[in-house]
C-alpha cells in the first residue's frame, strides 16, 4: 500500500518552498525557451502512472500552468499486469483529487492485447498507452501530452541508441518535443533524484513500479548494469549526456532545415545532389525515405544508394525497409513505396 496522502498539497507556486518554486520555473523555461512550447492558455494531459516521474510532472505542470492560464489533466492506465495495480490506480485517483487535478483512470488487459496484437508486453503497453492518451487529449481539447521522461531516462535512451547503432543526431537521444504526436517531455534534462527530492519535501507519496527491477527487459539491463558503470567512471556522465542532447537538437534542426529546401515529391533532383556534400546527400536520402512512412533506413543501405548514385548506375534500385525503393535515374533519384 502506498503511504497516506499529505494533509494538503500546495495549490500554487507561491506556496512552495523557494527552492522548489525556482525548480518549477526552470522547467517552465526549458519548455518555453528550449523546446519552443507556447504555454499561454494551453492544456496538458499528463500520462500519470503514480510513480515518481509522473507524480512530480503532474504537480510541476499544475503550478506552471496556473501562471500561464493553462490547465492540467491526468490519465492513469492500469495495465492489469500486477496484483498491486488496482491499489495503485486508487492511489493515483486519490492524489489527483487531493491536488485538484481532473483524472481519468482506465484499466486494460495489456497481456491479452499483446497476445492478440502479436507484440511483446512492453511494446503492447506502449501502443495501448499512446492510443489512449491521444484519444483523451482530443476529447479534452488539450494541446500537449506530457511524459515524465527525465535525464536518467535520456541517458538510458542514449545508451540504447548506441547499442542499436543509431546515426547522428539520432544517437543524442529522444526529442523533448514531438509535434507529430503532440508529445512534450518537460523533465528531459532533470535528474530523477531531483524529482524524488521534490516529492519528498512536499511529502507527496508515489508508487514503486515493480517492472523497473525486471532484468528481462533490455532497457532495465541498460539501467541496472550498463548505466551504473558509466556513472562510476564519470560522475558527471548525466551532464555529459545533457550536453550531447543539446548539440544533437541543434544538428537535428540544422539538417531538417536543409532538407526542407528540397522539392517535395518522389524525385530527389540531380542538381540538389550534385551541389551537396556526401554528409548532406545521406540526410537527403533519409529525409525522402522517412517522408514515405514507417520503416527505418539503415546507414549501410544509404551508403549503397550513394555509391550507386556516384557511379551513375542508371536503373539501379536499392531496397529499404517498409517496402520502399530508391532508383537511380538521369534526373536524380526516385523514391517509391509499394502499397
Identify which of residues 11 and 250 has a Cβ nearer to a copy of itself in the complex.
250
List the one residue from 19, 181, 218, 310 that touches a copy of itself (CB under 8 A): 218
Q: Does 311 bind a copy of itself (CB under 8 A)?
A: no
Question: Side-chain half-sphere of 268: how many Cα atoms within 13 Å?
Answer: 28
Identify which of residues 83 and 261 has a Cβ nearer to a copy of itself in the complex.
261
Q: Does 126 bind a copy of itself (CB under 8 A)?
A: no
Q: Does 225 bind a copy of itself (CB under 8 A)?
A: yes
Nearest to 37 by CA among 5, 70, 59: 70
239 is in an annotated binding site: no
Question: 337: which 3 cell numbers?
Answer: 513505396
Size of the site for a copy of itself (CB under 8 A): 44
Shortest distance, position 59 Cβ to a copy of itself, whole Å: 29
53 is in an annotated binding site: yes
- Report d(CA 262, CA 255) in Å as an integer: 11
Q: Does 216 bind a copy of itself (CB under 8 A)?
A: no
Draw the binding track, 290-309, toward a copy of itself (x: CB under 8 A; -: no contact): --------xxx--x------
Specify the DSSP class assigned to residue 314. Answer: T
- Report d(CA 265, CA 62) in Å as an integer: 43
Q: Does 135 bind a copy of itself (CB under 8 A)?
A: no
Q: Are 63 and 16 in contact (CB under 8 A)?
A: yes
- Report d(CA 81, CA 17) in Å as an integer: 38
Shortest distance, position 283 Cβ to a copy of itself, whole Å: 10
Please give the residues from 249 up to 278 whose contact with a copy of itself meets the rule CB under 8 A.
Answer: 250-251, 253-254, 257, 277-278
Question: 117: which 3 cell numbers?
Answer: 496484437
**Alpha helices (runs of H) in the chain, residue ranges in sequence order:** 18-29, 52-67, 85-99, 110-117, 121-140, 151-164, 192-202, 218-221, 227-233, 237-260, 270-274, 278-290, 299-310
- Report the binding-site residues for ATP: 49-54
Chain contacts with a copy of itself (rule: CB under 8 A) = 158, 162-169, 171-172, 218, 221-222, 225-226, 229-230, 233-234, 236-237, 239-241, 243-244, 246-248, 250-251, 253-254, 257, 277-280, 282, 298-300, 303
Amino acid at each position: 500500500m502506498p503511504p497516506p496522502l499529505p494533509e494538503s498539497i500546495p495549490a500554487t507556486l507561491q506556496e512552495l518552498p523557494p527552492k522548489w518554486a525556482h525548480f518549477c520555473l526552470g522547467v517552465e523555461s526549458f519548455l518555453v525557451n528550449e523546446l519552443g512550447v507556447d504555454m499561454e492558455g494551453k492544456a496538458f494531459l499528463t500520462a500519470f502512472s503514480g510513480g515518481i516521474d509522473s507524480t512530480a510532472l503532474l504537480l510541476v505542470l499544475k503550478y506552471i500552468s496556473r501562471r500561464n492560464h493553462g490547465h492540467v489533466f491526468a490519465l492513469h492506465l492500469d495495465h492489469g499486469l500486477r496484483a498491486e495495480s488496482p491499489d495503485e490506480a486508487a492511489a493515483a485517483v486519490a492524489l489527483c483529487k487531493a491536488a485538484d487535478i481532473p483524472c481519468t483512470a482506465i484499466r486494460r488487459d495489456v497481456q491479452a492485447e499483446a497476445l492478440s496484437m502479436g507484440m511483446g508486453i512492453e511494446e503492447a503497453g506502449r501502443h495501448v498507452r499512446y492510443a489512449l492518451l491521444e484519444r483523451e487529449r482530443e476529447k479534452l481539447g488539450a494541446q500537449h501530452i506530457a511524459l515524465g521522461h527525465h535525464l536518467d531516462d535520456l541517458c538510458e535512451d542514449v545508451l540504447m541508441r548506441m547499442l542499436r547503432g543509431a546515426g547522428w543526431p539520432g544517437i543524442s537521444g529522444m526529442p523533448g518535443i514531438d509535434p507529430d504526436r503532440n508529445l512534450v517531455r518537460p523533465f528531459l534534462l532533470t535528474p530523477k533524484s531531483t524529482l524524488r527530492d521534490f516529492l519528498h519535501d512536499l511529502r507527496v507519496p508515489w508508487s514503486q513500479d515493480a517492472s523497473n527491477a525486471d532484468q528481462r527487459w533490455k532497457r532495465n539491463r541498460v539501467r541496472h548494469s550498463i548505466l551504473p558503470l558509466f556513472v562510476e567512471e564519470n560522475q558527471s556522465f548525466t551532464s555529459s549526456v545533457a550536453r550531447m542532447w543539446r548539440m544533437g537538437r541543434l544538428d537535428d534542426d540544422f539538417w531538417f532545415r536543409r532538407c526542407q529546401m528540397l522539392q517535395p515529391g518522389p524525385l530527389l533532383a540531380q542538381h540538389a545532389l550534385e551541389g551537396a556534400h556526401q554528409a548532406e546527400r545521406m540526410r537527403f536520402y533519409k529525409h525522402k525515405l522517412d517522408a514515405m512512412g514507417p520503416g527505418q533506413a539503415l546507414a549501410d543501405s544509404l551508403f549503397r544508394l550513394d555509391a550507386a548514385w556516384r557511379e551513375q548506375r542508371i536503373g539501379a534500385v536499392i531496397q529499404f525497409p517498409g517496402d520502399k525503393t530508391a532508383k537511380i535515374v538521369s534526373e536524380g533519384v526516385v523514391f517509391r513505396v509499394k502499397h
